[in-house]
Structure 1
Amino acid sequence: MTSASGTPDAGAHLRSRPDAAPAVLPAQGAAGPRLSPHRPSCHRRDPLDHPDPGTAADTAAAENLLRCWVRETGTPAPAGDTLRIPLTACGTALRVPVHHWSACGWHRFGTPVLVGAPEDSPPVDAVTLAALLVREARYGARGRSLPGDGADLVGRVADSVRRTAVFLTARRADPETPPGTARFLDGEQSLLLGHPLHPTPKSREGLSGAEAGAYSPELRGAFPLHWLAADPSVLAADSAWTERGRTVPAERLAERLAGPDAVLPEGTVPLPLHPRQAHAVRHLPAVAELFDRGLLHDLGAHGPVWHPTSSLRTVYRPDAPAMLKLSLGLRITGSRRENLPEELRRGVEVHRLLRTGLGERWRSAHPSFDIVRDPAWLAVRGPDGEPVPGLDAVIRHNPFRPGDDAVCVAGLVSPRPWPGRGGRG
């Protein structure tokens, strides 16, 4: 089954099928489509396999920036094996070796060289490259405003490089999948370099080293959830989750996920939070007032550990019937990942729409296709009746059992950047 969610942070997954037709490859010697004027060399050492994790991480970041620049500027493939990027604002240019030009934009580049720089000058690292490209973009946009802050982008590039180096160091030291890890989770934990067309794929500003160890899928993190108990008078919820034809309220689903050992004040409803989010919102004025009035109760960390998926804020437990898409007020790749009210409602609306017959119609035409559903949610309303940003949880259907051969597509094609074990998948 292939599944994809309509939400930005969900990945597509492949589930192997015994009746699936094998891929058809061209016969030996047959002419195939020419996708690129440049072909990757089998004899060239991939710079992502550099023995120093910091160098490999910097290489990956520089390649991402160059791919983004090529895409955003519409730069065509060069006639030869070198791409020249003019830096008019600096009175110079970059010469970039092209190892492979991809029809889908996943180009492979060598280390860029600044034209006119001394031969013994250090290479153009990712942070320097980001600063040069930001300067050039602002020069090219004379008279027009550009979104974002150049210094902010350069800072996020540096943060992304540092974190990627940590991930590579850890995974190279222990590359084997821990015994008993579900295939779905293994795939979600395999995106060490992140999106190949994002300038800062691993930036997580404000996350400490200790927090990164627990909350990062790349480090195979795991943690118990932080639970609050909410008075029903301040709780907003909706559910289209059904069992045997009957709707199960979101409050009941939350009670099941909290488990029988959760000790709740009488008449309250459990609300799961990401531990970092629980700490971040505790002292917001609207939240503090709810605690002072006895409408919210802090239950602390509770229950078995959950595992962060590739989006960080969606957490998975192999034995649970649901995943949880939690708010996380952390700038991940540049944006805060807190659920918006319309996102909460949209998931339930989509699930209801699919149950009207649309889902059956597409499955009859494409039996192996479906999307992951978000059929329920809970949120807390503040004293003014409006939802409190960050105090919410989406309850997502978990179709992936521990033994299922379900693989995140992005993880399936992601490079494995460590010496002697290079390649994809």
Structure 2
Amino acid sequence: MFNKNIKSKQMSQKQAEEKTIQNLLNCYFREIDQGEWLATNIRADDQVGPQHDFSTKEGCIRCYLPSHSCYLIANLRYWSLIGIHLYYFPILTQYSEEADITVPSNVGIIELIVSELVYISRDCCKNNDLLNRVIQSCKNIQEFLKTKNETLNRGTFLGKFIQAEQSLLYGHQMHPTPKSRQGFTADDLSAYSPELKSRFQLSYFRIHNSIVQEASSLDSKATDLIKDEVLLDPEVDENFKNLYCHQDEYSLIPVHPWQADYLLRQESIKRLIYMGWLEFLNCRGRFYFPTSSIRTLYHPKSNFMFKMSMSIKITNSLRVLMKKELYRGIDVHRVSMSNIGKNLYANFPKFLIIRDPAYISLRDDNSQECPISVILRENWFKSTCCSADVISIVALCQESAEASDSKLAKVIRYISRHQESSLFQVSLNWFQSYLGISLEPLLWLYSHYGIALSAHQQNSILELKSFYPHRFFFRDTQDFYYCYDYYDLLDSIIPGMGIGTENMYDTDVIEEIFIYNLFVNNLFGIVNVFATSKLIDEKLLLEYIKNVLVNYNKKYKNLSKLFEKLLSAAKLPCKGNLLTSLYDMDEVAASNPGRPYFVYIDNPLLSV
């Protein structure tokens, strides 16, 4: 047993390091230097050459690192038009054209790449901690792999909503630190990580209404909605309900237990408790499950999910709710209840928006941050009303921990076997079905009302029926954007819309965000998974997207500028996750959503 555990730890470390290097390399080649493609493999004298089985290009990518005066050499296992390449390990180095090939350790390669990045940013960032964040992310992935209990990869390969949400062991495949969590201790990681199947009770603060800020688009106030949830919770004792859940001058605010511990150490909170305005009521009730975002909590019998503030830095951003985020949820609910939402649902009944109809927060007129706050999110996936397979696109596309097929590939192979149809045809049919329920509704909403939804893979949830796409859910109202050109129309339908939300932009900015999230991140990412799973060629699906866009260009003529960019531009906008991390940019706090660190990548639609 001891030897088995040692072997498992070594395998987890190797997988985590290689996944981290793959992310770093793909980000570096996309955002910093594409390097040069060489038609032949390069290997050290004592290495066995890589065996190619399905790459579109053999050979390697070689990139010069000026600060180290050396070449980095990555032999290709799969070369992608989209830029999400797969590599053979180990990665190699060479210090001159005539020098021997060397084989650094995985950690050595990570340090080499990150130190090159720090050198690049030396004039802007004097105390760059990117290496620490990369290593922390890598170690967290290793821990998730070591202690995994992958129910989704045993027996049923899909499962219910929370199983899928807690299955993201690797995270964003084009991010250098997808699993970094600055502020978590090792115990915190174990207690609160969705990847480790954690579950815990909510902490509660009782706050005098005079220092509460709340809003609701429902018939009930946020205060009453939360008290009703507690009253319906059979695991909360009757004494607590009688003391704190009736109508009075106080509100209850559920808080993530990590955040509660953090808040109780803050002098401002201690002062409010001493003055009697605030009371901490400890943890109570049902055990909630963290979803993939870590701070949004779910229970299959609750009417709401709770999106909470957490004063930790997850990937690039401190996850404390901002006032603009609170306001956006109310705006989106108003949109969905207006003629905009009614027309959307009438035309596209299989496209649904998960709304955030209420919030409550400790009021602070001197800050945009809301460390004691919660957004109430509709729970579409209650056990009483959702028995279907429901999964986010990012979870569907993620490679499993055993380095075998993604869940998407397993779905396609399952359909192929049971329908006795080719993998090619099933893949094409599945992708056509997905575009049918996702792409046109998003284009329609932007065309008619100037509303752009940032439908990246994590915000896109798919309900499958007979393993094919059936309904598309968009979540996270933070990622709604409104175009200035449509302001008069929107204001006539929903007066006062956009006040305080900081999400109204010029067309050029909107379309950068829209193209990156929907096309580069979402659709191109899915295409890459089909191709790397050996199901269908990237070019065929890219050609299908191109043909669909040509047809939509005729239908939505006012979006001709957007379609021209997609169909004709040599480069497409792409969020630079590596540069955003390198320059330590907090995207949530920034008034302009990551735009300074957008880069431009080759448009893969021009290759077909």
What TM-score does the superposition give when structure 2 sets the normalisation length? 0.56
Mark the runs of 5 or more structure 1 residues left unpaired by the alignment: 1-48, 242-246
Residue 112 (str. 1) matches residue 105 (str. 2): no
Report the CA distance shift for 1:67/1:298 in structure 2 as closer, same or farther (over 3 A): same
Residue 372 (str. 1) matches residue 354 (str. 2): yes
Partner deviation per Cα, 1:330-385 (whole Å, 9 max, x = no partner) = 11113211100111011111111221111122222322112211110000025x67
Partner deviation per Cα, 1:102-151 (whole Å, 9 max, x = no partner) = 233321122311114997965342x4334323443455568xx446843x
Determine helix, strand or coil for the equivalent of 1:52.
helix
* Greater helix content: 2
Which one of 63, 72, 76 corresponds to residue 98 of structure 1? 76
Aligned to 2:400: 416
Q: Output aligned runs, 1:380-419, within 5 Å.
A: 380-382=362-364, 389-402=370-383, 403-418=387-402
How many equivalent residue pairs? 364
Report the CA distance shift for 1:148/1:278 in structure 2 as closer, same or farther (over 3 A): farther
The 2-side partners of 1:278 and 1:178 are apart by 38
Aligned to 1:225: 202
Aligned to 2:27: 68
1:172, CA displacement in angstroms? 5.9
State whether residues 379 and 387 of structure 1, in contact with CA within 8 Å, keep that contact through their aligned partners in structure 2. no
State whether residues 51 and 418 of structure 1, in contact with CA within 8 Å, keep that contact through their aligned partners in structure 2. no
Report the CA distance shift for 1:258/1:51 in structure 2 as closer, same or farther (over 3 A): same
Aligned to 1:252: 224
Aligned to 1:203: 180
State whether residues 168 and 418 of structure 1, in contact with CA within 8 Å, keep that contact through their aligned partners in structure 2. no
Q: Output aligned runs, 1:6-405, within 5 Å.
A: 52-73=11-32, 75=34, 78-80=37-39, 81-110=59-88, 111-116=90-95, 123-125=104-106, 127-140=107-120, 145-146=123-124, 149-150=127-128, 152-171=129-148, 183-241=160-218, 247-259=219-231, 261=236, 262-263=240-241, 264-265=243-244, 267-382=249-364, 389-402=370-383, 403-405=387-389
What code does the residue aligned with 1:153 have?
L
Partner deviation per Cα, 1:269-305 (whole Å, 9 max, x = no partner) = 1100000000101132221121111111111000100
Determine helix, strand or coil for the equivalent of 2:276.
coil
State whether residues 9 and 146 of structure 2, in contact with CA within 8 Å, keep that contact through their aligned partners in structure 1. no
State whether residues 236 and 379 of structure 1, in contact with CA within 8 Å, keep that contact through their aligned partners in structure 2. yes
What code does the residue aligned with 1:161 have?
C
What code does the residue aligned with 2:227 have?
E
The 2-side partners of 1:344 and 1:175 are apart by 34
State whether residues 259 and 303 of structure 1, in contact with CA within 8 Å, keep that contact through their aligned partners in structure 2. no
State whether residues 225 and 303 of structure 1, in contact with CA within 8 Å, keep that contact through their aligned partners in structure 2. yes
Aligned to 1:29: none
State whether residues 326 and 392 of structure 1, in contact with CA within 8 Å, keep that contact through their aligned partners in structure 2. yes
What TM-score does the superposition give when structure 1 sets the normalisation length? 0.79
Determine helix, strand or coil for the equivalent of 1:78.
strand
Determine helix, strand or coil for the equivalent of 1:389.
coil
Determine helix, strand or coil for the equivalent of 1:298.
strand
- If asked which structure has higher relative contact order (CA below 8 Å, sep 6+), I would say 1
What code does the residue aligned with 2:278 have?
L
1:319, CA displacement in angstroms? 0.8
What code does the residue aligned with 1:96 have?
A
Aligned to 1:6: none
What code does the residue aligned with 2:220 have?
V
Report the CA distance shift for 1:178/1:335 in structure 2 as closer, same or farther (over 3 A): farther
